Amino acid sequence: MELTISGVGVRLGGRWVVDGVDATPPAGALTGLLGPNGAGKTTLLRLVAGLLPPDAGAVLVPAAPGSSERTSSDRSSSDGAPGARRTPVHTLDRRLRARRVALLEQESSATVPLTVREVVALGRIPYRSLWGTDPDDGAVLRALRAASAAHLVDRTWSTLSGGERQRVHVARALAQEPELLLLDEPTNHLDVSAQLALLAFVRDLGVTTVAALHDLNLAAAFCAHVLVLADGRLVAAGPPADVLTPPLLREVYGVDADVLVHPRTGRPVIALTGRA
Ligand SMILES: Nc1ncnc2c1ncn2[C@@H]1O[C@H](COP(=O)(O)OP(=O)(O)OP(=O)(O)O)[C@@H](O)[C@H]1O
């Protein structure tokens, strides 16, 4: 999906928590959203998901073909699609938006008396008929397989470990079959092997994905593009090798680091040496 984040800002608690962010995450690729605690990553993901209306700017997505959605005149000549009809994501009808955009929120501690199958089926609600039937009865299992969680299908949600819950959350987001996938710290609770498997999977999915990540080396290894937030503002954007430099890491995170080049992948490897 061609996504344009255009001058987006929101005020919460009397201050701009996200402030004037302009970004165009590449379509069909994995973008990492980086920045220290409180930088505004979760808030920006909620804005991009259309769950939070912006107080400034807009998040524009292509209008669905044949829809009567409110569209803006195309302000995004930079995205190479002049004349394309675009619409602010927060104005999309909720059901339609849920078919196009999935947000994996940071884990909530809620315990629900549901099986894993039922939790993942929640992601299919936007596709259900008036009678509540899913037109694609294989979608839940496909999503569980993709998230390496098919073996959990009949388990009760409340009995799962943190890492198992995280995989099921990912499966629920995938079951929505979105054009835009937004992941808030998706590697939380996952062991190193599961972290690598998940990021390799979403990188290769071909779906425009924005993932808030704290692990700079995972971002460097898997992301095509990174956005770095600090105090609600975008301070850098581009390929990891261009963005994740020692001066940037010092400025944004207050840490000293050596940035090496991986001998096989050519990607940056960040060796933290201490607080600046
Ligand atoms: N509803 C709200 N009212 C007031 N302040 C808020 C609200 N939501 C978030 N904030 C504040 O906005 C800032 C950004 O929060 P956000 O959760 O977006 O940061 P983050 O980058 O995701 O942080 P973390 O890495 O710790 O998850 C924080 O200072 C937070 O306290």
Is the CB of 12 within 6 Å of ligand 1?
yes
| pTM (2 d.p.) | 0.92
* Predicted local distance difference test score (pLDDT) of residue 67: 63
> For 25-110, where are the E strands, in sequence order?
30-34, 56-62, 86-88, 101-104
Can you give the length of the chain in residues? Answer: 276
Give the other-Cβ count within 10 Å of 239's Cβ.
Answer: 15
Residue 80 buriedness (CB in 10 A; 0-12 / 13-18 / 19+): exposed
Question: Ligand 1 within 6 A of 39 CB?
Answer: yes
Q: Could you report the predicted ipTM of this complex, rounded to two decimals?
A: 0.98
Q: How far is the CA of 261 from the centre of ligand 1 (A)?
A: 33
The verdict on the CB of residue 165 being under 6 Å from ligand 1 is no
Site to substitute for ligand 1 among 17, 104, 182, most atoms within 8 A of C-beta: 17
What is the layout of strands, in order, in the sheet containing 225-230? 101-104, 180-184, 208-212, 30-34, 225-230, 233-238
Token pair for residue 88?
A: 């602010």
Q: What average pLDDT does the chain have?
A: 91
* Residues whose CB is less than 8 angstroms from the CB of residue 117 and which lie 6 or more positions away in sequence, other chains included: 140, 153, 154
Q: Which two tokens stand for residue 247?
A: 């001066």
Q: Which domains does the chain have, with CATH numbers?
A: 4-275 (3.40.50.300)
**Burial environment of residue 195 by CB neighbours within 10 A (0 to 12, 13 to 18, 19 or more):** buried
Structure confidence at residue 79 as a pLDDT band (50, 70, 90)? very low
Instruction: Say if CB 45 and CB 237 are below 8 A apart.
Output: no
* pLDDT higher than 60, residue 58: yes
Is residue 230 in contact with ligand 1, taking CB distance under 6 Å? no
9 lines ligand 1 (CB under 6 A): no
Q: For 37-41, 49-53, 185-189, which range has the lowest pLDDT when averaged over its residues?
A: 185-189
